[in-house]
Amino acid sequence: MPVQTSFRKILRPRAPTDDELAQIPWLNPLSETERGFAVDQLVVHEIQTGDFICRFGKAVTHWYGLVDGLLKMSNDDSQGFAITFTGLAPGGWFGEGTVLKREHYRYNVQALRACRIAGLPVQAFHRLQAESIGFNRFITLQLNERLGQFIAAREIDRITDPNLRVARHLAALFHPLLSPNVGGVLRITQQELAYLVGLSRQRVNEALAVLAGKEWIRIEYGGLRVLDLAALRHQGV
């Protein structure tokens, strides 16, 4: 069952709060001057379930990061089957490759629930990339980890075992560098996970029970706690 698409107008962006700034990982390696410039440029968007923050074919305007909520990155399904590339959890920044090349988006990013999104304008991104060693190091690491994530996503697409598919998708959502603000517990419903994995909610529920039985995860109120991330990433179910 697809996420309901929303055509509501996204609220006017606002300046980030101190708490929101504290959740942006790439601000930490910047110099005081660079940080001041970045903070002045950053904006926060508040969007609702089904809203798109990135649309296939649209020109890139910002580099975006998820402050709070849950997103999915997928292909444009107008010419074929819908494919979810990855889920995006709190603390994750995405689309840096598109920003670097100043391209139009080749994918969609849609909210699975109400979200707060931080955005850095393209021109500000390129200024930091030209002047900041700390920023460049973060982007290089981000691109490397993202490449590994998409290679893993190709492998997941070939997995027919539903339990293993759920395990690998959970491992991606708990990635310590690409989703640094998740911590030990991810607030996610079984239906949201089903959207990301491409299975029914009932089948996802069964897979979670199997993973919990192996003590790789623990199901808690409103979310999941990972107990063995390495097992989710690499072991068979």
What would the two tokens of residue 76 be? 């444009």
Burial status of residue 178 (CB atoms within 10 A of its CB: 0-12, 13-18, 19 or more): buried
Rg (CA), the chain: 18
What would the pLDDT profile of 30-68 be if each residue is shown by its tens digit?
999 999 999 999 999 999 999 999 999 999 999 999 999
Q: Is the pLDDT of residue 176 over 60?
A: yes
Q: Are 118 and 44 in contact (CB under 8 A)?
A: yes
What would the pLDDT profile of 196-232 be if each residue is shown by its tens digit?
988 999 999 999 999 999 999 999 988 899 999 999 9
What would the two tokens of residue 234 be? 């690499």
Q: Is the pLDDT of residue 160 over 90?
A: no
Give pLDDT, residue 6.
45
CATH class of 160-234: mainly alpha
- Superfamily covering domain 18-153: Jelly Rolls (2.60.120.10)
| Euclidean distance between CA atoms 140 and 52, whole angstroms | 26
Q: Is the pTM of this model over 0.75?
A: yes
Residues of the chain with CATH 1.10.10.10: 160-234
